[in-house]
Amino acid sequence: MKDEVPTTEERVANLKGMGSSRKRVEDVRFTQGRGNYVDDIKLDGMLFGDFVRSPYAHARVTTIHTEEAMKVPGVLAVITAADLEPLGLHWMPTLAGDKQMVLADGKVLFQGQEVAFVVATDRYAAADGVEAVEVDYEELPVVVDPFKAMEPDAPVLREDLEGQTEGAHGPRRHHNHIFTWEQGDKDATEAVMAEADVVAEEMIYYHRTHPSPLETCGSVASMDKVTGKLTLWGTFQAPHAIRTVVSLISGIAEHNIRVISPDIGGGFGNKVGAYAGYVCSVVASIVTGKPVKWVEDRMENLMSTAFARDYWMQGKIAATKEGKITGLWCHTTADHGGFDACADPTKFPAGFMNICTGSYDIPTAYLAVDGVYTNKAPGGVAYRCSFRVTEAAYFIERMIEVLAIKLNMDAAELRRINFIKKEQFPYNSALGWEYDSGDYHTAWDKALNAVGYDDLRAEQAQQLEDFKAGKTRRLMGIGLTHFTEIVGAGPVKNCDILGLGMFDSCEIRIHPTGSAIARLGTISQGQGHATTFAQIIASEIGIPADDITLEEGDTDTAPYGLGTYGSRSTPVAGAATAMAGRKIKAKAQMIAAYLLEVHDDDVEFDVDRFVVKGAPERFKTMKEIAFAAYNQAIPGVEPGLEAVSYYDPPNMTYPFGAYICVLDIDVDTGEAEVRKFYALDDCGTRINPMIIEGQVHGGLTEALAIAMGQEIAYDEMGNNKSATLMDFFIPTSWETPNYETDHTTTPSPHHPIGAKGVGESPNVGGVPCFSNAVHDAFRPFGLTQSHMPHDHWRIWKTANGLGLHS
Ligand code: MCN
Ligand code: CUM
C-alpha cells in the first residue's frame, strides 16, 4: 500500500504560507456584493448630512442665511462655524501641525471649502437644504501660483496666522510661507557645483493630481446618549489615530469611542487625514441624538479631499566629464493649498523627499523645501506616494536624463556607473538615510537584457532616420527608471504622527481546535491583508492560512496601530505578525516538549509540528499542541495560546525597481502608445507573488494616468477645472497597456522575514518611466524638459514647438 504520510512539500503546500500565490480570500465577498462599505451602514433613525460649499477660492463669508433651508421638509439643522465655535470645533488640527477650518470661519480659502452642514432625514432632503442655504460672499484676490504667493504684496491668505513668525516646522518668512525644511550640506554642495566639469540644471514640475478612489470618503457617527458611547464608522486608513484625535478634540474619553473602518473601496492615501465631514457627522449625532451619515460625491472628493504632489523642484546635478555624479542640489517650492494638511511624520514636513539622491552614490547633496499657502484644496501626501518619494524619484530620474543629454551619454550607462554598489549596503546617503539592502546592478542588467535594450536603441535610431527621411511620422521613446523606495515608517525615535510613535501591532489567538484569529493595527483598502498576513502566520506557526481569520479596523478589538499608508503594513505590521507568531511558537515548543516528555531544547519546529531532534517519528502537530494548551494542566505554563506584538522597526526598508517603457509617439496627433512596459520589482522576501503582481499592475496604471493625462488644474480665479471624471482622466482597460512583471529578491536584513513594502513602488517608479519615454522620443530634437501630464495636446505642442510640424 502507498505510504499515506504527506511529504514535507505537501505539508508546506497545505499551509499556503509565504511565497504561495494564495487566492484572495476577501474576493468571495467582494465579487458577490457582500462587501460592507460605509455607505452600506444603515442604522435606525439615521440622518444624513451634506455640505454647503464655497463657489469661490478666496472670499469673505459675511452672512449665512439658513431660514429658507430650515423650511425644507426633512431638514433638521443647519450647522455653521458659529455653532461649532462654543464647542471649540470650528477648527481642527491637521496631521502637519497646522489647523484647518471645519466650517468657514469668516472666510474661505479654496473652491469647494465646507461652509455649512445641513442635517436632514435623508440624502435628498439634505441636498434640497444645501440648495436653500444662501451665503453672502465678498470676493478676495486669488493666488493659485505658489511663487506669486511668496511675493511681498501677495494677499494674506491665512489671517489667523497673521504676525506669526514661527510655524509648526520652524520660522515663517512671509505671510503665505509655511515652513522651510533643509537637509544635507549646502556649502559643500555649492562648492561641488562651482568646481564641477559639468552641471545640468532644470526645473522639474510634478503637477497636482488626486487619487480619486472608487469609493469616496464618508463616515457614520452614532452617539448613544444612554451608554455615552460614540461609534464612528468611516473610510479611515488609520482608525486608531482617528480615535485618539476624536477623543482629544471632543473631550470624549477614548474608551467611550469606538472607531470602525469597514471595507474600504480604495484609499491610496486619500483617506489618511481628518475631514470636516467626520467632525460634522459626530457633532450632528451628539446634537440630534441620532446616527448621522456623511458621504461625499465624486466632485466633492476631487475638489476638497487630499490632493497629491504639486511640487516645483529646481535641480542642479554635477558630474565629471566621464559621468560620475559629484553632487545634487534641489530647491522645492511645495504648494500646500489653503491649509497644511499634509499627512507626514511630524519631523518630515516634506515627507521623505530627502531620498531624492535615489539609487545613486552621490557624495554631496543639499535639499531645501519651502511649503507655501495658496487658494487651493489642502492635502499633499496621497496617491501611492510613500511620503513624497514619488516626487523625489521623479526629480532624480528626470535629472539623470537631463544630465545624460548634457554629457551626450546613454542614460542606462550613466545610471549604471553611478549606482550604489551591492557591497556598499547598508549605505548612508548624503541626505541622511541608511539604505538597508540593495543589488541595483543585478536588477538593472536583468531589466536591460529582458527588453533587449541594445536592439531597442538600434531600432529607435533606424526609426529616427526614417522620420527624418519622411518615411514615418512616428517617433520611438525608451523610458528608463531605477528607483529606490523608502517604506515602513518607522522607527518610533524618528517617526510619529501627532506624537504617536509609528510602531504597529498584531495579536494572534489560537483556538483549541487549531484554527486562529489574528488582529492588526493596520487596515486593508484593497491590498489583500486578510490573505497575506494569514500567510505569514501560516509559515511562522504551521497552521494553514485557510484556518486563520484576519481582522483589522475595529479599535475595540484590534491592538493599537498607526494604520495603512506609506506601504508600511508589511514592513511594520508584517514584522509584528511574524514576531507574535514566534511568541506563540516558543510557547508551543514548551507544550510540545512536555507532551513528548523531553527537554524544551530537544524538540525542533518542522513546518506544522514540533519533532524530537533525531527522532522525526516522534512529534506533536500544531493542532495537537493547540488543543493541549486548553486541555492539559502543564506545569509552569499558563493555559491558552495567544500572543501580541508591538513592533518598532529598527529602520525603514528600501525596496527598489528597474522599469523600462517603450512608447510610440504620433507627432501629428500627439498620441502616445505604450508598446512595452517592463517592471522589475525587488521588495525583499515575497509573501504572495500574485498579490504583488496585482499591486504592481494597479500602481502602474495609476502611474500611466498621472504621467499621461491626470491633473487637478485651476484657472486664475481658483476654479477647479477637473472636478469631474469627464475632465479628470481615469484609464480604462482601453488605455491600459500590457505589463511584464519581473523580480529580484534582496531581503531586508533587519525585518524578521526579510520583507519590504511594494504597494507604492509601481507609482514611484512608473511615473518617471512613462515621462522619460516621452522625453526620450524628442531628445534628438533638443527637448530636455516638458511638464506632465503628457496628454495628446501637450505632446502635440511639444512636437510643434520643436518644429516637427513644418
Ligand atoms: N506584499 C507581499 N510581499 C511583500 C510586500 C507586500 O506579498 N514583500 C503584499 C502585502 O502583504 C499586502 C500588499 O502586498 O497584501 C501591499 O503591501 P505593502 O506594500 O506593505 O502596502 P500596505 O499594505 O501598507 O498598503 C499601502 C499601500 C499604499 S500606501 C497605497 S497609497 C496603496 C497601495 O498600498 N493603496 C491601495 N495599494 C493599494 N491597493 C489597493 N487595492 N487599494 C489601495 O487603496
Ligand atoms: Cu502616500 S499614499 Mo499611501 O501612503 O496611503
pLDDT at 2: 55
pLDDT at 3: 63
The closest-lying atom of ligand 2 relative to the alpha carbon of residue 384 is 2
pLDDT at 4: 81
Cβ(382) – ligand 2 distance below 6 Å = yes
Cβ(269) – ligand 2 distance below 6 Å = yes
Amino acid, single-letter form, for residue 425: F
For ligand 1, atom 33: residue with the closest CA: 759
pLDDT digits (tens, 9 = 90+) for 70-121: 999 999 999 999 999 999 999 999 999 999 999 999 999 999 999 999 999 9
For ligand 1, atom 4: residue with the closest CA: 686
Four-way CATH pick for 307-488+652-801: 3.30.365.10, 3.40.50.11260, 3.30.930.10, 3.30.56.10: 3.30.365.10
The torsion angle over the Cα atoms of residues 382, 684, 426 and 401, rounded to 10 degrees, is -60
Q: Point out the catalytic residue in the list 217, 760, 769, 794.
A: 760
C-alpha cell at 217: 470618503
**Is 237 known to be catalytic?**
yes
Top CATH class of 38-140+216-264+271-304 equals: alpha beta
pLDDT digits (tens, 9 = 90+) for 367-403: 999 999 999 999 999 999 999 999 999 999 999 999 9
- CA–CA separation, 24 and 22 (whole Å): 6
pLDDT digits (tens, 9 = 90+) for 253-285: 999 999 999 999 999 999 999 999 999 999 999
pLDDT digits (tens, 9 = 90+) for 190-221: 999 999 999 999 999 999 999 999 999 999 99
Domain 8-35+504-647 matching CATH 3.40.50.720: the answer reads no
**Are 798 and 783 in contact, with CB atoms under 8 Å apart?**
yes
Cβ(48) – ligand 2 distance below 6 Å = no
Cβ(657) – ligand 2 distance below 6 Å = no
For ligand 1, atom 16: residue with the closest CA: 759
pLDDT-flagged residues of the chain (< 70) = 1-3
User: What HEC string does 282-319 produce?
Assistant: HHHHHHHCCCEEEECCHHHHHHHCCEEEEEEEEEEEEE
Task: For residue 73, report the phi and psi dihedrals to the nearest 5 degrees.
Answer: -55, 130
Task: Give, for 418, the enclosing helix (H) or strand (E).
Answer: helix 411-418
Could you tell me the CA-to-CA distances from 164 to 101, 105, 466, 703 in Å, in that order?
A: 18, 19, 62, 39
Distance 570 CA to ligand 1 centre (A): 8
Cβ(352) – ligand 2 distance below 6 Å = no
**Across the strands, what pairs with 485?**
none
Furthest CA-CA distance within the chain: 92
Distance 272 CA to ligand 2 centre (A): 8
Domains 8-35+504-647 and 38-140+216-264+271-304 share a fold: no
The candidate with the shortest Cα–Cα distance to 97, out of 613, 410, 498, is 498
The residues spanned by each domain of the chain are 8-35+504-647, 38-140+216-264+271-304, 307-488+652-801
